[in-house]
Amino acid sequence: MIKYIVQGGTRLSGHVNISGAKNAAVAILPASLLVDGVCRIENVPDISDVRLLLEILRNMGANIRRFGRNTLEIDCSHVRNATAPIDLVRRIRASYYLIGAELGRFGHARVAMPGGCNFGVRPIDQHIKGFEALGAKVSTDRGMISAEAPDGLHGAEIYLDMPSVGATINIMLAATKAQGNTTIVNAGKEPHIVDLANFINAMGGSVKGAGTDTIRIRGGRPMHGCTYAVIPDQIETGTLMIAAAATRGDVLIRGALPTHMEALTAKLLEMGAHVDEGIGEDSIRVRSDGNHRHVNIKTLPYPGFPTDLQQPMSVLLSTARGTSIINETIFEMRFKHLEEIRRMGGISQINDRIAIIEGVPKLVGCPVTATDLRAGAALVIAGLMAEGVTDIYNVHFIDRGYEHLEDKLRSLGAQIERLPA
Ligand code: EPU
């Protein structure tokens, strides 16, 4: 077990580079199962979710070579349709993409129910509805999901009840290998969905409309290996933007895509922070004097305010003047970090999916425990803002999705150490 020790009170300043997007990488790696041939994938973040997925693919027979920290070559030509190791699959959410990818490649799949952050029920009925529409028979039994399409997959029109990121991606994976055309209506529009579509197209597939609510896939096209670079991480960018504002800092975030950050940028401006996107196309500068007004937040699918930034943002609001209201519409239990923030002096009330936060003048460091990935990032921000020392336990959650977070923060002047707990 690892913990962070954060000495609060330092203003972050300087520049920092953004890593490749976790939620794009965890879709693109399984997508390499769709081709016989080598996929060279650049800008892959070195995070534990990615390392786990690579271990799963290796176990299935993929040949994977690493070049430096962030470039991989994956050759799935000799992959056996082995059931991915259950203990590994259960440790990450994104292992459910193996169902779509295996179904596309082999016409059948058997994968353990996925794990991942625990902030609600997280059903996968929309994924299953999509696979069934494509012609698969899907069953769940003793923690395993089995999908089979003995007569092959065929294109279909699939309406999603909600614009689910996971279901959109999983259906894109399977439909790429189906015969005929598939349309996903009410699809997710997140940047990582667009990134996967671009990757599939680079392999010779045909996905059109990604980034809108209707995605059209022409299935069954001949496919081949390719070279591709993963987009910058939207959530890491947002986390560092919030950390800059929270520490009254002045930080230039490089290698980020400002257009992916519009919902957060609007809220930071409303709070009184400065956000400049004019310095080069791929950088964002965030400055603040720490004098923040309260704002209300409603999490929504992209391009709305991302649920993954709700937890870090709620920490920033905990010292803003006045009362802020957060409406978490995506996941039902994503306020557990506020219990820890209360231990640091924050004032909040939670009523189902609504959190009411009363701004206090300051937070005070104390031992706190991360309950999931973004809760962990939120607690790091709280530690940076707080007076005194904050010990943060369960850092393995943070390692799932942030590449060397403590090194990046230290390069901006933060006093943060990683130690065995
Ligand atoms: N939902 C259903 N049925 C389904 C699928 C989703 O009811 O079949 C519901 C979910 O319960 C939730 C909502 O629809 O209430 C949205 O879920 P979605 O499918 O969009 O989320 P996900 O695929 O499980 C991905 C990210 C999450 C991110 C959400 C929302 C990955 C691997 N995970 O999860 O990322 O919070 O989209 O943007 O891409 C994170 O990075 O910390 C993280 C949790």
Q: How many CB atoms lie within 10 A of CB 104?
A: 26
Q: Which of 165, 170, 329, 334 to mutate to test the pocket of ligand 1 (most atoms within 8 A of CB)?
A: 165
How high is the pLDDT of residue 421? 84
Whether residue 119 is predicted with pLDDT greater than 60 in this model: the reply is: no
Distance from the alpha carbon of residue 178 to the mean position of ligand 1, in angstroms = 24
pLDDT tens column, 348-361: 999 999 999 999 99
Whether residue 317 is predicted with pLDDT greater than 70 in this model: the reply is: yes
Ligand 1: which atom is nearest the Cα of residue 302?
38
Please state the rounded mean pLDDT for residues 199-216.
98
Distance from the alpha carbon of residue 413 to the mean position of ligand 1, in angstroms = 34
Whether residue 120 is predicted with pLDDT greater than 70 in this model: the reply is: no
For the chain, the average pLDDT equals: 95
How high is the pLDDT of residue 89? 85
289 lines ligand 1 (CB under 6 A): no
Please state the rounded mean pLDDT for residues 65-82.
92
Among protein residues, the one with the nearest Cα to ligand 1's atom 24 is 166
How high is the pLDDT of residue 391? 98
Alpha carbon separation from 36 to 39, 94, 225 (Å, rounded): 9, 22, 7
32 lines ligand 1 (CB under 6 A): no
What amino acid positions are annotated as catalytic residues? 117
Whether residue 21 is predicted with pLDDT greater than 70 in this model: the reply is: yes
Tell which residue, 10, 12, 13, 11, has the closest CA to residue 388. Answer: 10
pLDDT tens column, 248-267: 999 999 999 999 999 999 99
pLDDT tens column, 385-411: 999 999 999 999 999 999 999 999 999
394 lines ligand 1 (CB under 6 A): no
Sequence-ordered list of residues with C-beta below 8 angstroms from that of 278, at least 6 positions apart, any chain = none
Please state the rounded mean pLDDT for residues 19-43.
97
Ligand 1: which atom is nearest the Cα of residue 169?
23
Can you tell me the distance from the alpha carbon of 278 to that of 281, in angstroms, rounded to the nearest whole number? 7
Please state the rounded mean pLDDT for residues 235-247.
98
Among protein residues, the one with the nearest Cα to ligand 1's atom 19 is 164
Ligand 1: which atom is nearest the Cα of residue 126?
8
Q: Are strands 2-7 and 389-393 parallel, antiparallel or unpaired?
A: antiparallel
Please state the rounded mean pLDDT for residues 359-372.
97
162 lines ligand 1 (CB under 6 A): yes
Can you tell me the distance from the alpha carbon of 235 to that of 401, in angstroms, rounded to the nearest whole number? 9
pLDDT tens column, 217-240: 999 999 999 999 999 999 999 999
How high is the pLDDT of residue 280? 64
Sequence-ordered list of residues with C-beta below 8 angstroms from that of 298, at least 6 positions apart, any chain = 304, 305, 326, 327, 329
Whether residue 382 is predicted with pLDDT greater than 80 in this model: the reply is: yes
Distance from the alpha carbon of residue 216 to the mean position of ligand 1, in angstroms = 21
Lowest-pLDDT range of 88-92, 336-340, 384-388: 88-92
Given pLDDT bands bounded at 50, 70 and 90, which one contains residue 116?
low
Among protein residues, the one with the nearest Cα to ligand 1's atom 36 is 308
Given pLDDT bands bounded at 50, 70 and 90, which one contains residue 291?
very high
How high is the pLDDT of residue 392? 98
Please state the rounded mean pLDDT for residues 94-109.
94
Distance from the alpha carbon of residue 165 to the mean position of ligand 1, in angstroms = 6
275 lines ligand 1 (CB under 6 A): no
Please state the rounded mean pLDDT for residues 106-115.
87
Given pLDDT bands bounded at 50, 70 and 90, which one contains residue 185?
very high
How high is the pLDDT of residue 121? 66
28 lines ligand 1 (CB under 6 A): no
How high is the pLDDT of residue 223? 97
How high is the pLDDT of residue 205? 98
Sequence-ordered list of residues with C-beta below 8 angstroms from that of 100, at least 6 positions apart, any chain = 30, 109, 127, 131, 169, 170, 171, 172, 173, 174
3-state SS of the chain is CEEEEEECCCCCEEEEECCECHHHHHHHHHHHHHCCCEEEEECCCCCHHHHHHHHHHHHCCCEEEEECCCEEEEECCCCCCCCCCHHHHCCCHHHHHHHHHHHHHHCEEEEECCCCCCCCCCCCHHHHHHHHHCCCEEEEECCEEEEECCCCCECCEEECCCCCHHHHHHHHHHHHCCEEEEEEECCCCCHHHHHHHHHHHHCCCEEECECECEEEEEECCCCCCCEEECCECHHHHHHHHHHHHHCCCEEEEECCCHHHHHHHHHHHHHHCCEEECCCCCCEEEEECCCCCECCCEEECCCCCECHHHHHHHHHHHCCCECEEEEECCCCCCCCHHHHHHHHCCCEEEEECCEEEEECCCCCECCCEECCCHHHHHHHHHHHHHCECEEEEECHHHHHCCCCCHHHHHHHCCCEEEEEEC
What is the percent of the chain where pLDDT is above 90?
89
Can you tell me the distance from the alpha carbon of 242 to that of 219, in angstroms, rounded to the nearest whole number? 41
302 lines ligand 1 (CB under 6 A): no
Distance from the alpha carbon of residue 345 to the mean position of ligand 1, in angstroms = 31
384 lines ligand 1 (CB under 6 A): no
Given pLDDT bands bounded at 50, 70 and 90, which one contains residue 322?
very high
